[in-house]
Amino acid sequence: MDELIEQFIFEFKKLKKVRGDLFESFLLFVNLCLTDKKDDKYKVKVNELLQYIIINKESIKLKLIQN
């Protein structure tokens, strides 16, 4: 799961403008990327991933701040 989050962090950092809270913007970015698909087959996995991100908020914030 960490590899997937690392990929999301990499893609998120490519965005030119991020407004507001960095972590909330990242969480919204991940949610939009994962729920963009019309298939509900992975809905449980999406929820598990979002919960994992929220539980590990501090470590993910550190990774978002790092260059």
Predicted confidence at residue 37, as pLDDT, reads 65
pLDDT at residue 20 in the model: 82
pLDDT at position 38, please?
A: 65
- Are 4 and 49 in contact by the 8 Å Cβ rule? The answer is yes
Q: What is the largest CA-CA distance in the chain?
A: 35
Number of domains the chain is built from: 1
Q: What is the pTM of this model?
A: 0.80
Predicted confidence pLDDT, tens digits, the chain (67 residues): 788 899 999 999 888 777 788 899 999 999 888 876 666 666 778 888 899 999 999 999 999 888 6
The domain containing residue 43 runs over which residues? Answer: 2-65
The percent helix, strand, coil of the chain (3-state, each to 5) is 75, 0, 25
